[in-house]
Amino acid sequence: MNKLLITFLLVFFDLLAIYISIFISFYIKSYLDPYFTSSTAGDLTYYVGNSIFYIVAITTLFSNGIYNYRHDFWEESYIVLKSLFFALILLLSIFALSKTIGGYSRVVIVLSFVIMAFLIPIFKFILKKKLALFGLWNKYAQVISLNSNIVDSIFINKYLGYIKATNNNAEIIFMDTAGMKREDVEVKLLKLSHEKKEIIFIPMLNNFNFSNSKIIEIFNARANMIVLNNSLLNKKNIILKKLIDIILSIILVPILIPIFALIIYKIKKYEPNGSIFFKQIRMGENGKEFVCYKFRSMLEDSDEVLSDYLKLHPEEIKNYEKYHKYIKDPRISKVGNFLRKTSLDELPQIINVFKGEMSLIGPRPYMIIEKEKIASKLDMVLAVKPGITGLWQVSGRNDVDFNSRVDMDVYYTRNWTLWLDFVILIKTIKTLFIREGVR
């Protein structure tokens, strides 16, 4: 009964989002009509009262498992986006084949689906948050894993709605196979499959994203093959990523100019004899070295200041070995402290983007002295251009140790998608305002 109620509410709020999207798009088109010679949008009820809009959209969402499985917010938003794109193509095809397309405004139709792509995820987020508040979204789960990060990620994420099971009342089992022998995995899965209706199997390979992979069955061998594609080896994707870098950079320049001017003024005010930019050799794509630009955030005599500080605080040496950061860096100036906390010191790297040495989003631009510590993962990290922001910057930043940063960069390189870049960009904006993980 609880499951039926939740499904009903999820579908109802999606229908509401569709209605509001059509309503908004109709009035946007009506407002723009006087400025164009095209025909008017027609009657509002002709759109909001037409069941084909709702049937096509909801059916495609159903077919992609939106109402059957629980997804992370960003993964679900991506599924919604794909579903609505297919629904739009299907709806236009239906109107074209039935020869009724002439009776509708294409602007209203397309704009409706664009707005849906924003409203449906927002409505889902609000609804699930309210359902969780009343305990309706909660689902008892058991996680079998040696990795505390996986356990925490499943239960902390309120959007998923899983809570720790007690007294063997788990409705769903998560099984992490990392560190387990194949025989033990098979025995455990056979046992659990008899006891539980739903088991979520977590592969032992953590640095691969299987959500977009293709699974092929070999019937005679009773085996499955998983097809993994490296998106960044596709020339079309490389060109697309470069094009997006250029377009976004051009858009950002007018915004950045006054910010640059203010920062330069502040740096010169407090240290008039010091340099504005900090330049350092970093490793770029395929190991090609380049000069990375930053606003100077350290004192001019920083080396001498640091040497004296480490003599009094030797514990900072161990902290740097793990995080490649000092808890309290004495070299940072008053202005530099603000620049680092807000990440504004990295803005000059937009110059590296225009020079084709960096991307807006990508792995961290590593220093040459870090080459040995990256070790066997170096080739994968350097397979793409480094970015101004990246996966590790929105996943804890200074609270993430060096090896974890490298693993995140490897994950990004192996599993790049345009959607992943979009999520990182949104999370970067959020991190800048909330200052998560910054010390």
Judge whether 308 lies within some domain: no
Predicted pLDDT at 434: 66
Q: Could you give the angle at the alpha carbon of 246 between the alpha carbons of 243 and 249, nearest 5°? A: 145
In the chain, the amino acid numbered 276 is I
In the chain, the amino acid numbered 249 is S
Q: Where a domain ends, among 79, 99, 133?
A: 133
The pLDDT tens digits for 42-93 are 678 888 888 999 999 999 999 999 998 899 999 999 999 999 999 999 999 9
**Residue 157 shares a structural domain with residue 263:** no
Judge whether 212 lies within some domain: no
Judge whether 120 lies within some domain: yes
**Residue 148 shares a structural domain with residue 88:** no
Contact in structure between 368 and 283 (CB atoms under 8 Å): yes
**Residue 267 shares a structural domain with residue 406:** yes
Q: How far is CA 81 from the centre of its chain?
A: 14
Ramachandran assignment for 377, one of left (phi > 0), alpha (psi -120 to 50 degrees), beta (any other): alpha
Predicted pLDDT at 284: 94
State the Cα–Cα distance between residues 239 and 242, nearest whole angstrom.
5
Give the DSSP H or E segment for 259: helix 235-270
- 32: helix, coil or strand? helix
DSSP 8-state class, residue 220: T
**Residue 28 shares a structural domain with residue 167:** no
Total residues belonging to the chain: 439
Judge whether 217 lies within some domain: no
318: Cα within 13 Å, side-chain hemisphere: 3
**Residue 276 shares a structural domain with residue 403:** yes
How is 361-405 classified by DSSP, letter by letter? ESS---BGGGHHHHGGGHHHHTTS--EEE-TGGGTTGGGS-HHHH
pTM of the model: 0.79
**Residue 406 shares a structural domain with residue 343:** yes
Judge whether 322 lies within some domain: no
**Residue 268 shares a structural domain with residue 417:** yes
**Residue 37 shares a structural domain with residue 154:** no
**Residue 104 shares a structural domain with residue 144:** no
Judge whether 80 lies within some domain: yes
**Cβ density class 396-409: b for 16+ within 10 Å, e for less:** bbeebebeebbbbb
What are the residues whose beta carbons fall under 8 Å from the beta carbon of 412, sequence distance 6 or more? 362, 363, 390, 391, 420
Q: Could you give the angle at the alpha carbon of 330 between the alpha carbons of 324 and 334, nearest 5°? A: 115
SS3 readout for 48-110:
HCCHHHHHHHHHHHHHCCCCCCCCCHHHHHHHHHHHHHHHHHHHHHHHHHCCCHHHCCHHHHH
- The list of the chain residues with pLDDT below 70 reads 1, 35-42, 101-102, 204, 206, 301, 303, 323-324, 396-399, 434-439
Judge whether 360 lies within some domain: yes
State the Cα–Cα distance between residues 371 and 394, nearest whole angstrom.
23
The pLDDT tens digits for 180-193 are 777 777 787 777 77
Predicted pLDDT at 367: 92
> What residues are paired with 143 via a beta bridge?
174
Judge whether 225 lies within some domain: no
Predicted pLDDT at 90: 94
**Residue 262 shares a structural domain with residue 124:** no
Domains: count for the chain: 3
Nearest residue to 354 (alpha-carbon basis) of 437, 221, 250, 432? 250
Predicted pLDDT at 8: 93
Q: Where a domain ends, among 118, 133, 148?
A: 133
State the Cα–Cα distance between residues 196 and 199, nearest whole angstrom.
7
**Residue 255 shares a structural domain with residue 383:** yes
**Residue 402 shares a structural domain with residue 264:** yes
Q: Where a domain ends, among 117, 133, 149?
A: 133
> What residues are paired with 199 via a beta bridge?
173
In the chain, the amino acid numbered 372 is E
Q: Which domain holds residue 9?
A: 2-133
